[in-house]
Amino acid sequence: MLLVLALAVLAIPFVVPTVWMVAASLKPLPEIFALSPWTDQPTLAAYKEAFTFQPFARQYLNSVYIAVLVTLITLVVSALGGYAFARIRFPGANALFLVVLTGLLVPSEVTIVPLFQLFKRAGMINTHWPLILVTALAAPCVLATFIMRQFFIALPVELEEAARLDGLGRPGIWLRICLPLAKPALSAVAILTFLASWNLYLEPTVYLTSPELFTLPQALTRFTDAYGGQMWNTQLAAATMTVLPMLIVFVLAQRQFVEGLAHSGLK
């Protein structure tokens, strides 16, 4: 009982801002700074204005398809890389894995300028390719590879030995034995990667200039009136539409997420 009470108290700083955001998005603009988060005249006008003020539907679709594509690429690359580091013995495997892990120590701010120059020479500025390539092959992919490696290491070797007796090679063992057993780890990787891509802000700001190509984090900063003032209720409505899908996905998949991290040995 005390544990439940303590968890409820710790949840307050996370739940209250979310509830306030949703409630305030239903307020008329003059009531936005009222002490009470509720209003006697709830309205959906801010939600309608979010789609008419700028191409928010297109920006929403941009974030969805980029996050889905990045997640799929990361799942394939990390599952292959994690299996290779866990099961295939080759000279310098541990040293190479340490080199890969150093990618987690390099902040994106350090590499943003050289990457910008590289993508500029390739003619990819103001396209979604930098967002897809950088996110799918950078720190999120390194972390995903680490999670998958830790999971595959924990699998019994006898499973592979039995599969070899049945005539399966490395590709068959990976595809038909290891991947079906790795669903918890894959779920954790998918959630972490999707969230990393969904919340990406620095890279879209650097690489994109056209409003119709913006992603949601970048679009949320553009809800300002003619005088540069914040359109608070419209911005809160857009933020609500941005956050709630992620909360729903996490709530529905939290069991697989926690199980995947537990099997990988992460704390």
pLDDT digits (tens, 9 = 90+) for 191-204: 888 888 898 898 99
Q: Which domains does the chain have, with CATH numbers?
A: 61-210+251-264 (1.10.3720.10)
Average model confidence (pLDDT) across the chain: 85
Read off the pLDDT of residues 104-149 as tens digits, 9 standing for 90 and up.
778 888 888 999 999 999 999 999 999 998 877 776 788 888 889 9
**Global confidence as pTM:** 0.85
Read off the pLDDT of residues 19-30 as tens digits, 9 standing for 90 and up.
888 888 888 878
67: nearest Cα among 228, 195, 158, 252: 195
Measure the CA angle with vertex 241, ends 237 and 242; round to 5°.
115
Rounded mean pLDDT, 4-22: 85
Q: Which residues of 221-233 are buried (b: 16+ CB within 10 A; e: fewer)?
A: eebeeeeeeebbb
